[in-house]
Every structure is written in structure tokens, then in C-alpha cells.
Amino acid sequence: MNRLLSIFYPRKCPYCSKPLKYDMTECLVCRAEFPKTPRIEALPTGEICIAPFTYNGAIRRAICDYKFRGKKFNAYSLAGAVVSSIRNVYYKDMGFEVITCVPMSKDRKIERGFNQSELIARYAAEQLDKPFENLLYRESGAAVQHEKTYSERISGKDDSFHVISQEKVEGKKLLLIDDIMTTGVTLSRCSTILRDCGAERVFCASVAISKEYGVHNNISGGG
Ligand SMILES: [Zn+2]
């Protein structure tokens, strides 16, 4: 964050709203309460997705404040937690060459003003010293995922995701980042398309995984 701006707009901890000292992205109390080990869950297509958090409580509030209430500062802390999980789980295989994100349709992007997964992926890329690139796009006007039932989503054909440039995907090891994993369908679709276009490997990470993920498979909403 711009240092001059931070004088006029004191930064607050994304999780408890207490004022933060210079350069901190969350307070020490909240940081100490972060889960010590990341969640690791299998996607419907068999890959794994890792996440530092379960989507509930203060984490849920921090993510909603970020996505819907313009608190973009929260992205620094959320990205930092994702990076810790990536280092923790993928440490033996950190050879991904490019970091990318789940895309948002043009319509949604205009509506929200930014792609929340992209900003987190960009901050994560900075911290991991890897390049970020938008490799996928999502067609505007495609049926919104949360309007479909789980079985429609898992079985139905979804042509809304596309690779921007096959050349940039072919033979590459990629890290794909999303904000919240609810059913794993979106990450599965994106990683399948990337592999179909020749990606050597796709590692997946998200900020949070829904509490119910893996408990039952009849969840509607999110991705
Ligand atoms: Zn705090």
C-alpha cells in the first residue's frame, strides 16, 4: 500500500478490525490463530487443492469484506496465507513456472470492478517471485454457476472457460489460484482445460475451502 495513503487511512486487521502498525498485514493475535497446517482436499477430477483456511468465522468476513465491500487491503494477508500453504505443501515441487487464476467474465468484472482471485494470485506471484499471467478467460453471459444444481455442474458441459493462448500453456507447470473452493467444480474445469491444452501439471490453491467440502456432495452455490 502507498505509504502516504496509509497515514490517512489507518490499516485495520482483516480479521478483528484492530488498527495495524506499519507494514503489518494482520495483527499478531490473529496471525497466531492461523491454522498450522493447510487443508488438502481432492478435486472431483483427482487433483488436489490446498488452502490455508476453512471458509467460516473471521476468515469468511475478511473475504466478504474484500470481495464485496472494497477492502482490497485484505488481499495482502489472504495472499500471504496462501503462499505459506504453497510453501508448506508443494515445497518439494515448487517448479511451477507461471501463476494464474480462475477467470471472471467481463460482465462480472465490470460489476465488481476487479477479479478477486486475480489480485490474490498477483500478490502471491510477487511473494513467490514467479510471473503471473491470465491464461484463461470466461465467456460473459454463460450460465452463472450457482444457478445450477451440483449434479448439473459436475456432469453438464460447460463451454464458458477457454484458454487465451495455447502457446503459453503447452508444456508448462502451472499454479492455479481461486478465492473460495465450494464444490471444486470450477477449479476442476479450469485445470482440465489447462491440461487439455498441454499443461504438464496444474497445482491448485485457494484462500479457503468450504466447511462442508468433502463431507457431502450436495452443495449449491460458489465454485
Ligand atoms: Zn487481528
- CATH code (residue 134): 3.40.50.2020
CA dihedral over 25, 101, 191, 44, signed as positive or negative: positive
Quote the ligand 1 centre to 143 CA distance (angstroms).
38
pLDDT digits (tens, 9 = 90+) for 85-103: 999 998 877 889 999 999 9
Quote the ligand 1 centre to 24 CA distance (angstroms).
10
Tell whether 146 is covered by a domain. yes
- As a whole number of Å, the CA-based R_g of the chain is 17
pTM attached to this predicted model: 0.86
Distance CA 206, CA 120 (A): 9
Quote the ligand 1 centre to 18 CA distance (angstroms).
6
Tell whether 79 is covered by a domain. yes
Total count of domains within the chain: 1
> What pLDDT, on a 0 to 100 scale, did the predictor assign at position 216?
53
Angstrom CA distances, 150 to 131, 137, 146, 221, stand at 34, 22, 9, 8
Which residue range is the domain that position 142 belongs to? 36-210
pLDDT digits (tens, 9 = 90+) for 167-205: 999 999 999 999 999 999 999 999 999 999 999 999 999
The average confidence (pLDDT) of the chain is 88
Quote the ligand 1 centre to 58 CA distance (angstroms).
9
Tell whether 14 is covered by a domain. no
Tell whether 16 is covered by a domain. no
Tell whether 137 is covered by a domain. yes
> What pLDDT, on a 0 to 100 scale, did the predictor assign at position 64?
97
Tell whether 6 is covered by a domain. no
Tell whether 56 is covered by a domain. yes
Those residues whose C-beta lies under 8 Å from the C-beta of residue 61, and which sit 6 or more positions away, are: 15
Quote the ligand 1 centre to 27 CA distance (angstroms).
4
With CA atoms as reference, report the closest residue to 172 among 221, 135, 139, 146.
135
Quote the ligand 1 centre to 202 CA distance (angstroms).
33
Tell whether 204 is covered by a domain. yes
Quote the ligand 1 centre to 19 CA distance (angstroms).
8
pLDDT category of residue 21 using cuts at 50, 70 and 90: confident
Quote the ligand 1 centre to 25 CA distance (angstroms).
9
